[in-house]
Structure 1
Amino acid sequence: MKRLLAIGEALIDFIPNTTDSKLKDVEGFSRQVGGAPCNVASATTKLGGNAEMITQLGNDAFGDLIVETIEDIGVNTNYIKRTNEANTALAFVSLTKEGERDFSFYRKPSADMLYQPEYIQDIDVTQDDVLHFCSVDLVESPMKQAHKALIEKVSIAGGTIVFDPNVRLPLWENEADCKHAIQEFIPLANIVKISDEELTFVTGENEELQAIQWLFQGEVEAVIYTKGPDGAVIYLKDGTVIEQPGFKVTAVDTTGAGDAFIGALISKLLTSESNEPIQLLKNNGHTILEFSNYVAAMVTTQYGAIGSIPTIDEVNQALTK
C-alpha cells in the first residue's frame, strides 16, 4: 500500500483573535494543531491518501491534542514517540489584514527535536513510500540525524523523497545556518517544493530560471515552484515545464497553505495507479496542479491549517462545476 511518511515537527499554533496587530499586542488566541509535516500528513489523508506521522511529543495536554486530532482525520500515529524530557512545541502567530504571518516559537528544545535517530530502525519502508520533510527540524539535534537515517532508508528502498524547505528564520541562530542546512539536504530529495518567497534565499540566485536550475542537483528530478495566488509550476529535469494558474480568493490566514498544496500533490501520487511519480507529474501535471492550487486556496479562506483542509469530495465537486 502506498503511503506518506511525514517526519518533523508537530506543534500547536496559537492564532490571534484579531488581525493586523503585532504579536505583543494580541490579547487572545485560539489553538490549532499544526507543524508543516503534520499539516501535510493531514492534508494527504483528508484527500484520500495514507499517511504516517513520525515525530516526538511531550507527555502533556498539547501532545494529547495533536494525537487525538490527527487520529480523528485518519493519520497513523504508530510512529509518534512521547517523552518527559521536553514539552510539545508551541508557535504563536500574528496576522496582517492579508493573512500573512509573524511567528514566535517555543521550542528550546521541544520534544520533536529530541527524537532519536535509532528510532528509525523500527520503521519499515518500501519503494511505494513517499517521504516528506521540511527544514524546521534540521537544526543541529538528534532529529536532524533521524532525518538523515530515514532519507537513506527510503532512498535504498527506492521510495520517493520530497523536500519542502519551508523557511522559518526565527528558529535559527542565523540565516547562514538555515541556508546551509537546506542546501545540504536538497541533493538528497527527488522532488523539491519551493515558494517564490524562498527561491532567492535558498539558491543565492536572483534570476528566477537560474535559481530553478540551481536546484537540479544530486537526486532532484522535479522542482515544484509555488507562487501563491499566481499558481504553480512543475519543472522537470528533462526540461518539461508545466504551469497552472491559481485561484483568486479572499485570504484570512495563509498558515498551512503551502503544506496543503504539497499534501494535495502527494495525495495524487499515492492514489494514482502509476508507480512512477515523476512520469505522473509529466503526464498529469496540469490536473495535479489545479487540484493542489484549489486545496491551498481554500485553506487560506479559514483560520488554522488542518481544520480548513477541504475533503476530497468538496474539491472534486468544485473542480467539476
Structure 2
Amino acid sequence: MEMNMRQLHCMGEALIDLIAHTKGQSLDQVTTFERVAGGAPANVAAVVASLGGQSSLITKLGNDAFGDYLVSTLKAKGVGVEHIFRTSEANTALAFVSVKEDGDRDFSFYRNPSADLLLNEDEVKREWFNQQDIFHFGSVDLVESPMKYAHRRAIEWMTQAGGIISFDPNVRTSLWNDLDVYKQTIQEFLPFAHILKVSEEELEFITGIPEQKRAIASLFKGNVRIVLYTKGARGATIYTKDHTWEVPTFPIKVADTTGAGDAFMGGFLYQLLVNEATVSTLEPFIGRHGEEVLRFANATGALVASVKGAIDVLPTQTHVNTLLDTHSV
C-alpha cells in the first residue's frame, strides 16, 4: 500500500507517567501511582501507529529499566524505534501526575537533565526525512540543551526535503525557569511549522494577546497554514487564513485527560498521511475535508480521555469509526 511509504516522525520526550491511583488528591497526598508510557511526541507517534499509519520517534533514553520499558511499549504499538538513542549520562525522564475530579491533571517532572535532552544535532540524519513525510514536535524539549539544536537540525532537514512540519507547543510552564524565555522559544520555532495546535488555555500565554480572534490571527506567520484550536469538552476548530471549521466533542465520561490532546493530534496527522496530503495540497485538502478530519481527530481524543493512561490504551481505527458511526451527523 502506498501509505506505508509515508511516515510521521515525532521528536522529543518519551517518559514514564506515574499517574495517581486516586482521583481528586494533590501530589503531596497521593500514596500510590500507576506506571504508564508517556511523553507527548511518543503519544502522537503511538496514536498514528495504532490507527494503522507508519510512525517513528526520534529521542534519547537512559540505559535503565524505564528506557527499556518505553522502547518495548512503543515497539509493541508499531512505532519505529530505530531513531531512539540510549545513554548512560542521564536517566529516562519521569512525570508524576495527579488527576483532578474533572479528569484534568497536575504534573511534577523529574529531569535535570533527563536523557531525552542529551540528543544532539549530529545524531539527526538528513536521509530520515522525505517529501511525503510529516515531522511533528512540541515545546517541552526546546529548553536550552543539545535537544533544542537537534530539533533545529531536524526542522532544517525536513524543510529541505519539502515535507509537512507540525508543532504542538503543549505548554508545560513548570519545566521552564523563565516564562519569558519559554514564550520567546515557542515564537522562535512557530514560523517553521505548517500546522500549529494550540489549546484555549495556551493561546494567551503563547501570543500575549487576550482577545481570541486577534490572538489566533497572530499565529499565521512564516509557514503556518493551519491552526488547530482545541477547547476540551467544547470541541475544536480548524482555522486557515480564510476559513474555519468547528466541530463539537463527543459525549463521553472523562476518566483522565492525559494524552487526549496528543490523541487528537495523532488522529489529525493520521488523516493527512492516509490521504497523502503534502505542503502544496494541505490547504485544498482541509478546504474539502476539514469537518470530516476534525471529527476523526475529536473522536480519537475523546476515546483516550475516556480511559486512564495514554499509550497503553490507544484506540484503533475500528474504535474511532464505531464512535463516529454512533454519533453520525
Given candidates 7, 10, 13, the residue that maps to 1:6 is: 10
In 1, Cα distance between equivalents of 2:194 and 2:145: 24
**Aligned length in residues:** 320
Give the secondary structure class of the aligned counterpart of 1:62.
helix
Cα pair 2:13 2:39 within 8 Å, conserved: yes
Cα pair 1:52 1:75 within 8 Å, conserved: yes
Q: CA deviation at 1:307?
A: 2.1
- In the superposition, the TM-score normalised over structure 2's length comes to 0.95
Give the secondary structure class of the aligned counterpart of 1:260.
helix
Question: Tell me, which stretches of 5 or more residues in structure 1 are unaligned?
Answer: none
Give the secondary structure class of the aligned counterpart of 1:55.
strand
Amino acid in structure 2 at the alignment position of 1:196? E
Does the alignment pair 1:246 with 2:249?
Answer: yes
Given candidates 114, 126, 131, the residue that maps to 1:127 is: 131
Calculate percent identity across the aligned residue pairs.
Answer: 49
Q: For 1:129-164, what per-residue CA distance to the aligned partner results, in whole angstroms no more than 9, with x for missing partners?
A: 100000000000000000000001101111000000
Amino acid in structure 1 at the alignment position of 2:184? H
Amino acid in structure 1 at the alignment position of 2:275? S
In 2, Cα distance between equivalents of 1:256 and 1:274: 25
Does the alignment pair 1:266 with 2:269?
Answer: yes
In 2, Cα distance between equivalents of 1:274 and 1:174: 38
In 1, Cα distance between equivalents of 2:126 and 2:243: 38
Q: How does 1:111-260 map to 2 (within 5 A)?
A: 111-121=115-125, 123-237=127-241, 239-260=242-263
Give the secondary structure class of the aligned counterpart of 1:205.
coil
In 2, Cα distance between equivalents of 1:2 and 1:122: 16
In 2, Cα distance between equivalents of 1:288 and 1:148: 29
In 1, Cα distance between equivalents of 2:276 and 2:100: 42
- Which residue is equivalent to 1:284? 289
In 1, Cα distance between equivalents of 2:113 and 2:258: 23
- Which residue is equivalent to 1:66? 70
The structure 1 segments of at least 4 consecutive aligned residues displaced by more than 3 Å after TM superposition are none
Cα pair 2:132 2:276 within 8 Å, conserved: no
Q: For 1:64-98, what per-residue CA distance to the aligned partner results, in whole angstroms no more than 9, with x for missing partners?
A: 00000010010000000000000000000011111
Amino acid in structure 1 at the alignment position of 2:285? L
Q: CA deviation at 1:248?
A: 2.2
- Please give the root-mean-square deviation of Cα atoms over the aligned residues, in Å: 1.0
Amino acid in structure 1 at the alignment position of 2:263? A
Amino acid in structure 2 at the alignment position of 1:245? P
Cα pair 2:61 2:92 within 8 Å, conserved: yes
- Which residue is equivalent to 1:306? 311
